[in-house]
Amino acid sequence: MQDTATATIEARLLGAILPHVPFEGWSDAAFAAACRETGTDPALARLSLPRGAVDLACAHHRAGDRALGARLAAEPPAGRMRERIARAICLRLEIAGDREVARRSAALMALPHLAPEGAALIWGTADAIWSALGDTSQGFERLSKRTTLGAVYTASFLYWLGDNSPDATDTAGFVARRIEEVMGIEALKGRLREGPLGKAGAWVAARTGRNEARP
């Protein structure tokens, strides 16, 4: 958990750097400008944010997740779970705000040395959505839900970056279609597990496991 001083510096610099990101990306130059405009000693800023603009980019994403959680708590989406998930994804994209900032963030997190951190941020978004919608699953089910939703969110985010429709209505349609596709695949997997072949496969796996366990 951040200490108060770090959180204060982070919030101050994040507000100042955002206008520079569309033009200079999450760069050292943008970080220096934010320090200059807020009167923050760059050396002190680096103590709190060692990677400079990279740390601010990550903070910006996490702040969006927190804002989504607050929004969903205040305005819980109605309908079936797939409709609630679709609404949550669209809200998260709306919270992302400036698309050029979002595009610069995506480009930064696509760098090889930051790709694992980018994946962790997407996982955090999926977790924020599921948690806000009341999911309490554990183990493999929790992992599967967040991995699947993370893939849907990533595809939706990339579509949204190029969407010029009014109020991003095309993105909303894309999100709904992707979720329907995922639900269809999950339903098919469930039918296969419960069908004759699935039960036979489970029986064979169980028998094989018992045989391998014998000395």
50-99 tens-digit pLDDT: 999 999 999 999 999 999 999 999 999 999 999 999 999 999 999 999 99
Query: What tokens were used for 109?
Result: 């997190």
Q: Answer whether residue 18 shows pLDDT above 90.
A: yes
Mapped onto helix, strand or coil, the DSSP state of residue 106 is helix
Q: Is 142 exposed, middle or buried (0-12, 13-18, 19+ CB in 10 A)?
A: middle
Q: Which CATH number fits domain 62-211: 3.40.190, 1.10.3470, 1.10.357, 3.30.70?
A: 1.10.357
pTM for the full predicted model: 0.84
Tell me how far apart the alpha carbons of residues 47 and 101 are, in angstroms, rounded to a whole number: 25
